[in-house]
Amino acid sequence: MSGRPKVKEYMTREVQTVAPTDTVSDVARRIKESEGHNGFPVSEGRKVEGFVSASDLLLVDDDAPIFTVMAENIIVAHPEMDVIDAARVILRSGIQKLPVVDDADNLVGIISNTDVVRSQIERATPEKVGKLMRTLEQIHEIRLHQEPRVVELSDLTPTQGRVYADELEGRKYELERGLAEPLVVIDNAGELLLADGHHRVMAAHQLGIEEMDASVIVLEERVDLGMQRTADEEGLRTIEDIEIADYGRHPLIETTRRLQEK
């Protein structure tokens, strides 16, 4: 049995979808009003019929039904697929979000380019950083190296648009007692992408801390990273663009609870 992480461990289970009979104007409005969505799976019940992206809606009549413009021959993943294999599909094909279907072809989740990278770096241990480095090497076939640095928080480009207020309190506690782990940062030709540690960064920012220790992965040539494209599309330029959600519980906790109750 493989010990490598599976898609089911990192996919988003609560998937927003549209119906084949929805109109172009309906879906365009949902994309505009949503946070971070540039497209949706198209489903009839739980069956995936296709995928529609914002670009599919360009120069199309507002009243046209989505089934006339959606991509029908789409790539899907299985929950038991290795995350590294999903990463190759996502990053080499240019697909940003991959629907996940079970053995009965029912939609059970969706996994994004950011999910597959973060799957390698749950914690900033040398082993996790090493896994991320190997992932980047395998997918992009590039040379890279790792080095410790002290980074200015104002120089970081976030790759996650939201953090949770309840988790910030825990990160502040760690920072105040010198227990926080280093950030994980990717240096892509001088642009510093924050790959892991968004809660730590925002906690530090609230405490007036301007710089932090980081494990920096330096790419020896510029690469078109999926997480960088996602940051650009979501308008993430500096840590000031990160939203602090002060409602509800972290979705990981809620999902874990729901899984335990099943």
pLDDT of residue 181: 81
Query: Which pLDDT band holds residue 115 (cuts at 50, 70, 90)?
Result: confident
For 204, other C-beta atoms within 10 Å of its C-beta total 22
Task: Note whether residue 65 is domain-resident.
Answer: yes
Query: How far apart, in whole angstroms, are the C-alpha atoms of residue 37 and residue 205?
Result: 27
223 and 139 housed in the same domain: yes
Quick check: is 261 in a domain? no
Q: Which domain holds residue 242?
A: 121-254
Say if 87 falls within a structural domain: yes
Q: pLDDT by residue (tens digit) across 168-225?
A: 877 887 788 776 788 999 999 999 999 988 999 999 999 999 999 999 999 999 998 8
Cα separation, 7 vs 42, in Å, equals 20
The answer to whether residues 240 and 166 belong to one domain is yes
Same domain, 87 and 57: yes
CATH of residue 156: 3.90.1530.10
Identity of the residue numbered 179:
L
Helix (H, G, I), strand (E, B) or coil at 17: coil
| 184, part of any domain | yes
Do 12 and 102 sit in the same domain of this protein? yes
Q: Which residues are 191's β-sheet partners?
A: 188
11 within a domain of the structure (yes/no): yes
Q: Domain check: are 130 and 112 in the same one?
A: no
Residue 162 covered by a domain: yes
Do 64 and 146 lie in a common domain?
no
Higher pLDDT, 17 or 3: 17
Structural domain ending residue among the three candidates 97, 116, 135: 116
CA atoms within 13 A on the CB side of 79: 13
> Does 2 have pLDDT greater than 50?
no
The per-residue pLDDT for range 117-140, each reduced to its tens digit, is 656 544 446 677 888 888 888 888
CA distance 52 to 56: 6
C-alpha 105, offset from chain centre = 24
Q: What is the pLDDT of residues 15-67, one digit of tens each?
A: 999 999 999 999 999 998 886 678 899 998 889 999 999 999 998 999 999 99
Q: Within a domain: residue 198?
A: yes
pLDDT for residue 69: 95
What whole-number percentage of the chain has pLDDT above 70?
85
- Tens-place pLDDT, residues 210-234: 999 999 999 999 998 888 888 888 8
Query: Do both 63 and 160 map to the same domain?
Result: no
Q: Which of 75, 98, 116 is the last residue of a domain?
A: 116
d(CA 174, CA 212): 13
Q: How many domains does the chain have?
A: 2
* Domain limit, last residue, from 89, 116, 143: 116
